[in-house]
Amino acid sequence: MQAMLQSGYGSVEVLSVGTAPRPTPGSGEVLVQVHAAGLDRGTWHLMTGRPYLMRLMGFGFARPKQPVPGLDLSGTVIEVGPQVTRFEVGDRVFGIGMGSYAEFCCAREDKLARVPESLSLQEAAVLGVSGLTALQALDAADVKAGERVLVVGASGGVGSYAVQLARALGAEVTGVCSTDKVELVRSLGAAHVIDYRKHDFTRGATPYDVILDIGGNTKLAALRRSMTPTGRLVFIGGENSDDFSAGFGRQLLALGVAPFVKQRFIPLMSKEHFAGLERLATVAQAGDLRPAIDRRVPLSDVRTAMQDLEAGRIRGKVVVLLESGSAEQPLVIEQPDVL
């Protein structure tokens, strides 16, 4: 099968298009003919091998155990392994499978869900990783209708879903992003949008009940200043951290502060399970959630897209086309209708 291959840890130079053996599903797994896959920060971390802690967590110390990158996927089940009960051959599924940048990928059935009728396979392909993270962040913060929610990093993969999901919960959402992404965030349903290049979002007059800090590095004191006395702050990554701390510096500081204040500080560890994927599918089917797609690319353009992701040039999500016969499509921003 055609696949993207990863020769080791490093920059995009470790990636190349080649061929790999077609996998065979094991117990509890299905084989998916991949229609499309998604680009996300998790795949970037697995490419670079950073932070180094992840190498000790079983992903491979000197080189990745999985030679084919990719996590998000959508496609059709073409074979089921032993003990599989939730899917049959022919089912259209989306979710998470290690090695999704290939024509075929094995995925655990408990990390897949059926594609909702409201989404195309390409849209569903970019929903799993980022959508689950956004959903679980809002769950961790216990967001209620009428609360004020601030999403820092609202134009990225996780942020674009968080804005829509918080809006669907009845929250008043404010998104923080750069100048060129303001209109996208507004189109996602944010009641207010702050351009961080022009305004310091931590010095506004209105405190927030919940702050989702996605891959940010704003100082804890500044974030606390933006919260109500009983506000909740969810840390979702910290992408500019060093290679060892894994972005946990502010979380550790928050743990020291937490016993002395009523504000809550929540480090997020996302879990991959079909229950969350099915909830996302339900919200999408209701018309309250739709992926914002920056572009669609073939395997040969993944390296360029990965560089753009690292540089912060991606708005929403990137779809990677895998299915045989899928033609490259124009790089057009698709902005969902205002919810």
To which H or E segment does residue 131 belong? helix 128-141
pTM of the shown model = 0.90
Q: What dotted CATH number matches 2-127+291-321?
A: 3.90.180.10
Cβ atoms of residues 75 and 121 within 8 Å: yes
Strand locations in 39-111, DSSP E? Answer: 72-80, 92-96, 104-108
Residue-range domain boundaries for the chain: 2-127+291-321, 130-267
Q: For 130-267, which CATH class?
A: alpha beta
95 Cβ neighbours under 8 A, 6+ residues apart? 72, 73, 107, 111, 112, 113, 128, 272, 274, 277
Joined tokens for residue 169: 């919960």
* Radius of gyration of the CA atoms of the chain, in A: 19
The confidence score (pLDDT) of residue 45 equals: 86
> Which pLDDT belongs to residue 49?
78
Please check whether residue 332 is in contact with residue 49, taking contact to mean a CB–CB distance below 8 angstroms: no
Q: pLDDT tens digits for the chain (339 residues)? A: 999 999 998 999 999 999 999 999 999 999 999 999 999 988 988 888 776 666 665 566 567 788 999 999 999 999 999 999 999 999 999 999 999 999 999 999 999 999 999 999 999 999 999 999 999 999 999 999 999 999 999 999 999 999 999 999 999 999 999 999 999 999 999 999 999 999 999 988 889 999 999 977 889 999 999 999 999 999 997 645 555 555 567 877 888 888 899 999 998 888 999 999 999 999 999 999 999 999 999 999 999 999 999 898 999 999 999 965 343 343 333 444 333
Cα–Cα distance between 239 and 265 in angstroms, integer?
Answer: 18
- Contact of 116 with 29, CB cutoff 8 Å: no
- Cβ 86 vs Cβ 279: under 8 Å: no
3-state secondary structure of 107: strand
Task: Report the C-alpha gap between 40 and 38 in whole angstroms.
Answer: 6
Whole-number pLDDT of residue 255:
85
Which pair of tokens denotes residue 92? Answer: 């259209």
Using DSSP's 3-state secondary structure scheme, residue 208 falls into strand
For residue 239, the model assigns a pLDDT of 46
C-alpha to C-alpha distance for 25 and 287, rounded to whole angstroms: 34
Instruction: State residue 23 phi and psi, 5-degree precision.
Output: -75, 160
Place of tokens 């200043």: 225
Say whether 130-267 and 2-127+291-321 share the same fold.
Answer: no
* Token pair for 180: 């060129």
Strand partners, 111: none
Q: CB-based burial of residue 62 (10 Å sphere; 0-12 exposed, 13-18 middle, 19+ buried)?
A: exposed
Query: Which pLDDT value is given to residue 335?
Result: 43
Bridge partners of 3, per DSSP, are: 18, 102
Calpha distance 333→296 (Å, rounded): 10
The confidence score (pLDDT) of residue 97 equals 96
Q: For residues 174 and 148, is the Cβ–Cβ distance under 8 A?
A: yes
